[in-house]
């Protein structure tokens, strides 16, 4: 019944999204393939990031764990006590960069499980709670900083930033706020050439598109999609994948071309595997995969 309800929600969303094209899921998914449960028994999965070797690292945030999926179908625990890591992304050094909101930080995690803080403050106050991030080709980091109250925070933790913003940290560690007009920023993904950034205002149910400037600032704000998204990814055709009630795919022009049903409500997404042709989806208590015709990065 749950799967049926989610499917109806996805269909309703497709009919109201103003799509210019019919559903093209079969142009994206490999022939004969379907969404398959890759693992379960988690509390809330999030933050998938593909490692250089194709493995996918993802978080089980309430359990304060980072898990690793490999293409042979195995899932193993990478580390526990990871500062409540949420969104993650690998940098060019092979470090896992994480939005770790136990202490409201962006941190770097090495493969020998050492953690160092990259940033935790802005304008003299702690961050609200970094949530998701994307690393540009030049090594600069964009991260969203909404506010979701956590039961593991100390009572003194309050929302001290004057807005729920999006920030950019350059390679020298300098942080600037690049978005301050969202209700609740969340998922974000950039194009691999470093020219365009897509960002979700999840509370306002909108995706916005920006030009990335040389200094890391953003300009040319334009409306992209009438949906919010928790996590996001992009394929080599420039299609943007959103996670809300299902996996919703928009082409570079903003047309909703596919809605892929998942048995549980998805939270985040990336392309994994050595060929980057396996769509990996975190969804509440489980993770799912599907073999694709298109590839990611």
- Is 159 a member of any domain? yes
The tens digit of pLDDT for each residue in 9-47 reads 454 443 333 344 568 888 999 999 999 999 999 999 999
How many residues are there in the chain?
Answer: 297
Contacts of 226 (CB under 8 A, 6+ apart): 16, 17, 18, 205, 206
Answer whether residue 297 is part of any domain: no
pLDDT tens digits, one per residue of 146-194? 999 999 998 878 899 999 999 999 999 999 999 999 999 999 999 999 9
- Say if 263 falls within a structural domain: yes
Kindly report the average pLDDT of the chain as a whole number.
Answer: 93
Does some domain include residue 124?
yes
SS3 content of the chain, % helix, strand, coil (to 5): 5, 45, 50
Tally the domains of the chain: 1
Structural contact between residues 130 and 100, judged by C-beta atoms closer than 8 angstroms: yes
Which position has the token pair 């809300």? 244
**Weakest-pLDDT range from 11-15, 141-145, 170-174, 291-295:** 11-15
Does the pLDDT value for residue 217 go beyond 80?
A: yes
pTM of the full structure:
0.93
Whether the CB-CB separation of 221 and 202 falls below 8 Å is answered with: no
CA distance 246 to 130: 24
Residue 182: which CATH number? 2.120.10.30
- For residue 92, CA distances in Å to 186, 190, 272 come to 23, 16, 16
**Is residue 267 domain-resident?**
yes
* CA-based nearest residue to 110, from 131, 135, 138, 82: 82
**pLDDT for res 26:** 87
**Domain presence at residue 220:** yes
Q: What are 85-104's pLDDT values in tens digits?
A: 999 999 999 999 999 999 99
Q: Which domain holds residue 81?
A: 2-291
Structural domain includes residue 272: yes
- Please name every residue paired with 179 in a beta bridge, in sequence order, or none if there are none: 166
SS (H, E, C) 158-220: CCCCCCCEEEEECCCCCEEEEECCCCCEEEEEECCCCCEEEEEECCCCEEEEEEECCCCCEEE
Query: Could you tell me if residue 134 is inside a domain?
Result: yes
């Amino acid at each position: 019944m749950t799967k049926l309800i989610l499917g109806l929600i996805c269909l309703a969303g497709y009919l109201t999204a103003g799509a210019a094209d019919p559903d093209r899921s079969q142009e994206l998914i490999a022939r004969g393939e379907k969404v398959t449960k890759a693992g379960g028994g988690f509390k809330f999965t999030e933050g998938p990031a593909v490692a250089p070797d194709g493995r996918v690292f993802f978080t089980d945030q309430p359990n304060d764990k980072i898990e690793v999926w490999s293409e042979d179908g195995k899932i193993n625990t990478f580390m526990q006590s990871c500062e409540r890591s949420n969104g993650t992304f690998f940098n060019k050094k092979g470090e896992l960069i994480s939005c770790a909101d136990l202490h409201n930080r962006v941190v770097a995690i090495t493969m020998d499980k050492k953690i160092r803080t990259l940033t935790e403050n802005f304008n003299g106050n702690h961050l609200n709670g970094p949530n998701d991030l994307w690393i540009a080709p030049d090594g600069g980091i964009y991260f969203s900083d909404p506010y979701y109250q956590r039961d593991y925070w100390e009572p003194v933790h309050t929302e001290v930033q004057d807005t729920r913003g999006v920030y950019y940290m350059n390679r020298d560690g300098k942080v600037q706020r690049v978005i301050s007009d969202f209700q609740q920023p969340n998922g974000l993904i950039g194009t691999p050439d470093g020219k365009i950034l897509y960002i979700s205002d999840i509370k306002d149910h909108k995706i916005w598109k920006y030009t990335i400037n040389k200094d890391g600032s953003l300009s040319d704000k334009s409306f992209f999609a009438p949906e919010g998204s928790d996590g996001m990814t992009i394929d080599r055709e420039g299609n943007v994948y959103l996670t809300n009630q299902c996996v919703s795919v928009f082409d570079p022009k903003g047309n909703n071309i596919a809605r892929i049903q998942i048995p549980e409500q998805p939270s985040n997404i990336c392309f994994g595997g050595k060929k980057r042709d396996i769509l990996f989806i975190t969804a509440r208590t489980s993770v799912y995969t599907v073999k694709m015709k298109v590839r990611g990065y």
